[in-house]
Structure 1
């Protein structure tokens, strides 16, 4: 009589493995960011290699190489470390550090010599990019994006929004800005930030003031979507890019980064509109016909 216990198998002979339920991702209540790290792994659109997106201390984002690198092999200006989900541009006195993806990206020119270890890492990423292209798994995108067709004046493609006494460049038209919160089905919320159930902003013309110490712009006024007259919680909801259902940060985590970009009238001069949207005016003229 055999002393070995038979392995549990299905009717077709395949081994029966125990099912381990997936654990739900949670964000620590004391974390400075509500972003779920598991949803921020992506690939570079220029070389196809893996990158990790992190939020910086100034609320901007940065793409980091997904693995730690020996700190002694990284120049001081390229050393980053992660603390509580936030990327800090400094070294934390450990033997390891993180490095931005840009100096390692094979498609970006290197303006300064790299250390031998980083040069070898950059070479390996270049080989992987070539393998992805040869196998058809990756198609590199052009460095300069194709300029889309000029939008109509009644619906700017990237409007300028003023909230919390700062100006931001929206990623899409106002009615297309999607909520970044996670739903109960662990998917990104499909609702929009602009909602008929919430108070709306007003389109106004305001001086297109450049940053301090720079020359004045030829455009004297620009159209902005002003939210400064709304209550502070409502402006914070817009800044967090959440719909009214997920207005409270404690209700759900974020599955994506807020896509606001600090508006610079010199860098974003192509998104400056000198007159207010005319959608209402066109509807009235059509009704009068």
Structure 2
């Protein structure tokens, strides 16, 4: 007796096989944030507990505790709420709020008085951190040194974390400029692999600019610092760099983002270790001059 093969697209009993299509994640056109929430949960490098990353109104990232807490147990100055994917530093009038992870991290000292309920959460997180350390599932990040440590590329002398000037502001990059990766989502739902600098077209210029105070910051005693200046580029190009998108995704405003832009507002006091006073050199240009 020859077995009857099952038709394609049907189960063994002849019932139709329905394939579930994955639900695509999209960002509403009216949303102030293009960041998808999927994949934005990470582990604290100091305690190993989960944190949720969100953008503030000034586009700086903030790590929030993943669970909502009763607003009555959280000091008023420490209450945060979410609206349109943006974190706002105050309550929204409800009985619940979010709280920064820094106040609950067991390896940090609280900056304000916390209620007994929050202290209990800190103890629970501390117990979980100790268990992960004892089992080898987590290794705390080493303490950062307070001594300035300037890191540059050995071949070109470019800073490992350069200071970039665009849109009349200065930002500290998270990595070298050639390694800045686009944060947009591709059609295959992966992060774009193209870099932010355009392969052709105008680019910025390494310049020695005055390290003067900006936005009420204190000025440095020395007068000059190395800055990658994008001020001469068109306004649209500076916006593209600030959004950390490649030229292809800059033209696609509806494309979602899978990661936060790695820019930090530059502060000459907090980021003193990344201040350089020598302009980068280019070996190719120097060799041509010798010939």
2:229 aligns with: 226
**TM-score w.r.t. length of structure 1:** 0.87
1:277 aligned residue (273, 276, 280): 280
Cα deviation, residue 211, structure 1: 3.9
- Structure 2 residue 145 is matched with structure 1 residue 164: no
Please show how residues 190-205 of structure 1 align to structure 2 within 5 Å.
190-205=193-208
2:185 aligned residue (182, 189, 200): 182
Query: How far apart are the structure 2 equivalents of 1:49 and 1:78?
Result: 19
Q: Which runs of 5+ in 1 are unaligned?
A: 1-9, 12-16
Cα deviation, residue 149, structure 1: 7.2
Q: How many residues align?
A: 273
Cα deviation, residue 195, structure 1: 2.0
Query: How far apart are the structure 2 equivalents of 1:121 and 1:90?
Result: 21
CA contact (8 A) 2:151 2:274 kept: no
2:61 aligns with: 61
Larger CA deviation: 155-164 vs 211-220: 211-220
Query: How far apart are the structure 2 equivalents of 1:61 and 1:135?
Result: 31
2:151 aligns with: 150
Query: How far apart are the structure 2 equivalents of 1:188 and 1:154?
Result: 29
Cα deviation, residue 249, structure 1: 4.9
Query: How far apart are the structure 2 equivalents of 1:145 and 1:19?
Result: 54
1:73 aligns with: 73
Change (3 A) 1:190 1:130: same
CA contact (8 A) 2:102 2:110 kept: no
Query: How far apart are the structure 2 equivalents of 1:141 and 1:253?
Result: 31
Cα deviation, residue 284, structure 1: 3.7
**TM-score w.r.t. length of structure 2:** 0.87
- Structure 2 residue 287 is matched with structure 1 residue 286: yes
Query: How well do the aligned residues superpose, as a CA RMSD in angstroms?
Result: 2.3
Query: How far apart are the structure 2 equivalents of 1:59 and 1:278?
Result: 32
Q: Which runs of 5+ in 2 are unaligned?
A: 1-10
2:270 aligned residue (267, 270, 273): 267
CA contact (8 A) 1:34 1:249 kept: no
Query: How far apart are the structure 2 equivalents of 1:234 and 1:39?
Result: 28
